[in-house]
Structure 1
Amino acid sequence: MSSSSGPVRHMVFCRFREEVTPPQRLAFFEQIRRLAEIPGIAFTNFQCGPNVSPEGYGMQFGDGFMMDFANRDACFMYLAHSTRHAIVARLIEALDGGMHGLLVVDINLENHEKPSRTTRPVLHQHRNARSPRAAQPHD
């Protein structure tokens, strides 16, 4: 993470072993969500679930979760907590390849600008400008 003191989004992507069922996967994520109930750990906007992207670029990371922290210090408090370490140790045992089945990305949210109002109409016009032939695979 950079030296920013603004909000941070912590994203974790998991490649579970085949035998780990969807309910077992969600149980890990629920344990992580409940960490917010511990004094000293504070995050918001917790989201979790399976990867539903149709693009096929997920590198077999089939599930994930994310949460937002007010700043880097709040994120570090979460990362350093012993209960989190215990949950992550069990999570890693359930992943295909252990730690290689885990991808973690943290981004500073203050660095991201919202698009201007003129962006949406331009994208909408572009979508409407495509001919039906352009959407079909090439021969």
Structure 2
Amino acid sequence: MTSSKGPVRHIVLCRFRSEVAASSRLAFFEQIRRLGEIPGIAFTNFQCGPNVSPEGYGMNFADGFMMDFASRDACFTYLAHPVHRAIGTRLIEALEGGVHGLLVFDITLDNHEKPEGKTRPVLHQHGDARSPRAAQPHD
């Protein structure tokens, strides 16, 4: 991301250790959701939960969360906050392989409206080099 303008979706996928109970996973996500109550941290559309995709391409990332920030700067404010860093440290300790059990992906969201019932064309199609199945079209 090169611009601080425009909204950002922050996506985090987690590969928890097998002994970490579902209730503990949800407790982490609730702590993260509550970061939005801290003055100076602002995000919307927080969602969390287990991977329910039937495609089988989740690479064992079985849980995750995402939220939207008004800008890249707002996302950076969240990332730099000491409470976020403390929760992140505990979260990494609960993941299989530590930091290798974490995938963070931020995308810039479009600001324009799309006509109802239509989507934009995919500009750059790419397949997953690990699997020939990934090159097949998806719904």
What's the TM-score, normalizing by structure 1? 0.80
Aligned residues between the structures: 119
SS of 1:110 mapped into structure 2: coil
Structure 2 unmatched runs, 5+: 120-139
Q: Contact conserved, 2:51 with 2:61, CA < 8 A, in 1?
A: yes
1:37 matched residue in structure 2: 37
1:76 matched residue in structure 2: 76
Structure with the larger helix share: 1
CA distance in 2, matches of 1:25, 1:5: 32
CA distance in 2, matches of 1:94, 1:27: 12
Q: Contact conserved, 1:7 with 1:68, CA < 8 A, in 2?
A: yes
C-alpha displacement of 1:117: 3.7
The correspondence of residues 49-60 of structure 1 with structure 2, limited to 5 A, is 49-60=49-60
2:22 matched residue in structure 1: 22
Max Rg structure: 1
What's the TM-score, normalizing by structure 2? 0.80
Which deviates more from structure 2 when the two are superposed, residues 106-115 or residues 60-69?
A: 106-115
Structure 1 unmatched runs, 5+: 120-139
CA distance in 2, matches of 1:98, 1:113: 39
Percent of aligned positions that are identical:
76
CA distance in 2, matches of 1:100, 1:112: 35
CA distance in 1, matches of 2:4, 2:48: 25
- What is the aligned-residue RMSD (CA, Å)? 1.7
